[in-house]
Amino acid sequence: MISPARLYDFLNKKNIVFYTGVPDSLLQHFLKYIQDHSSSDEHIITANEGLAIGLASGYHFATGRLPLVYLQNSGLGNIINPLTSLADKEVYSVPMLLLIGWRGKPGIKDEPQHVKMGRITKELLDVLEVPVYLLEENEEAAFISINEAIEEALCYRKPVALLVPPGVFENYEGKAIENHYPLVREQVIKTIITQLKGDETVVCTTGKIGREFYEQNELQQKKITNYFLSIGAMGHASHIALGVTKNKNRKVVMLDGDGALFMQMGALPVIAQQAPGDFIHIVINNGCHESVGGQPTAAFFADCCAIAKASGYSKTVQIINEKELTQWLQDDFFIPGLQFVEIRTNQLPGKNTGRPAGNPADWKRDFMEALQKGN
């Protein structure tokens, strides 16, 4: 397996000292090492993968050096535009390494949202005319491939991909991110479900929020029958919720995360302008990309409520403790209208939450049937 420390030193000797991107679980041990050993000028986690291509390009323009952009292969959709219209050799010809976690690799069991992209990842990179080097568990062979990728990127002044299957990196735990907020996300979700009447429509973002909602709802005898779990398309669940408001007979509750919110922040003014009736946009903010390794987001640095207010949300609320959560649920939760609610939580892991039972096709059918019953 590849040692994160030895890879970091190897890249440093090759004059690669700038890292940017969106975290991925397959890369998490290397990314944690970067987080602990690079300065804030050398390592920047961006809101989405396309922005990382732009940032890496600007870095190259300023320094002439080769940057490294990391992402999960699901993020390829976000980098197609800047890859083809900015970094491509036929436009600005920007050399960079793309370190890509290969979720859904054929022959390896994975979650449904990763299967299609896993199957087409190499073909998609071929269509984009991005050379691909596969990293192996054998460290010596992997370093040879990386060296060849670096030489090709510099020689032809173009992006080159390093594709990383599961199980390539040795374990590196990394330093914990300081977070002293008292609320626990799982308990927050349980409390919200308890407060709901049961006839609301709930839409959940990707990652652990959806899994914990599913589990807590099951524990409460499936109190909420009309819900949608967005297991893929990170950042787009808020607009799924907006689309659902076209069924105007129910309150819509959107359970969002800080990473997802920041990835598609342009959604906020459109929601504020278009959302009719009762729409509560709840962002459970733990300041990190928890489901892929716990790397930090910028969500504790930013004032999310001020951003939502400037975007046009008529009511914004920030909650940081149990008293404030209880008060909001009692006083304001059922007031009609548009609300943006940021609930800051700690990063303490809950119990090992399982995956929802069934498959996406069945979930969609059940969701649509529940919506129709509400008409």
Other C-beta atoms lying within 10 Å of the C-beta of residue 218: 13
pLDDT at res. 374:
63
Task: Give CATH for domain 185-373.
Answer: 3.40.50.970
| Residue 181 structure tokens | 């907020």
Mean pLDDT of 90-104: 97
> 192 pLDDT band (50/70/90 cuts)?
very high
Mean pLDDT of the chain: 93
Question: Residue 316's beta-bridge partner residues?
Answer: 340
In the chain, what percentage of residues exceed pLDDT 70? 98
Residue reference for tokens 């976000």: 78
Section 315-335 average pLDDT: 95
Given a cut of 70, whether residue 375 has pLDDT beyond it is no
Q: Which fold has domain 4-164?
A: Rossmann fold (3.40.50)
> Residue 285: what pLDDT?
95
Do the domains at 4-164 and 185-373 have one common CATH topology? yes
Please report the pLDDT score of residue 352 as a whole number.
64
To the nearest 10°, report the CA torsion of 126, 128, 129, 134: -50
CA 287 to chain centroid: 12
| Domain extent listing, the chain | 4-164, 185-373
Helices (H), 83-184: 112-127, 139-156
Digit-coded pLDDT (tens) for 196-246: 999 899 999 998 999 999 999 999 999 999 999 999 899 999 999 999 998
